[in-house]
Structure 1
């Protein structure tokens, strides 16, 4: 058995697909697997083209989390799409597959350290305190294409120029 993290992920995807095919009595094809996901995202399922993308930087530092959580999480996105069509990404169909097939609750976000992959951020302010926005959202604000509201206090975010 190989200890190359990418090879381990490929083997885990194959295992998850095989288990789902057996358990659900339906033949699921293996997805294309690539390791070109960037940023803070651990993995991504591209539903229409049956592809899974994984973040190689996060994988290197979090092999166990990828094998136990990220791979089943992304495989379930593909399975939910194949079985139910277009549904909410972390909706009841996806959650039920996570529980039934892999005995996982199904977390929406990972808890991995993203220091190595974190891009440039900009300081914004709301009524309850400072908030960081990434470059993409910051550029949308600058271009007047988007305004953002704090999830907690519901006040608009404004750029904090004093930092």
Structure 2
């Protein structure tokens, strides 16, 4: 599968949001946080992943292209909050009180644990396969 090309303006929007939220966190904590690496390698129905130890955010390019500003406004701060919580508190519950506090108090962003983007374009087709006499769907669409 050929990787999607993310327009420069959209990549700049992601970085501007990330930098603005990092500045808010830096001001709140009176320190400077390094800019996390950002990649567009997330696949499937997840909007993104925060890689805590790597200080990296992986974003779903298909969902970014489909939802643009809404994706930037919701997903970028959400993933950044995970990194900031890890930096400030260590390993805690992924969407626990520290994360909710980081979202509302520090990043001043509404708390949403999951996105509500249309997933039709990123869902994989499922095909039935035979296993003995029982017909079972396979999530990947390939037989094993």
Partner SS state of residue 92, structure 2: coil
Whether 1:27 and 2:29 are equivalent positions in the alignment is no
4+ residue runs over 3 A deviation? none
Q: Distance in 1 between matches of 2:49 and 2:26?
A: 21
CA contact (8 A) 2:17 2:76 kept: yes
Which residue number in structure 2 is paired with residue 12 of structure 1? 17
Which residue number in structure 1 is paired with residue 4 of structure 2? none
TM-score under structure 2 length normalisation: 0.80
Which residue number in structure 1 is paired with residue 71 of structure 2? 66
CA contact (8 A) 2:48 2:58 kept: yes
Which residue number in structure 1 is paired with residue 107 of structure 2? 102
Q: Distance in 2 between matches of 1:81 and 1:46?
A: 10
Which residue number in structure 2 is paired with residue 83 of structure 1? 88
Q: For residue 104 of structure 1, report the CA deviation from its aligned partner.
A: 2.9
**Rg bigger for which structure?**
1
Report Cα offsets for 1:1-40 as digits up to 9, x if no partner: x972122102211111111111221221110010111111
What is the CA RMSD across the aligned residues, in angstroms? 2.4
Whether 1:120 and 2:125 are equivalent positions in the alignment is yes
Structure 1: which 5+ runs fail to align? 124-132, 144-163
Which residue number in structure 2 is paired with residue 49 of structure 1? 54
TM-score under structure 1 length normalisation: 0.71
Q: Distance in 2 between matches of 1:64 and 1:21?
A: 24
CA contact (8 A) 2:24 2:107 kept: no
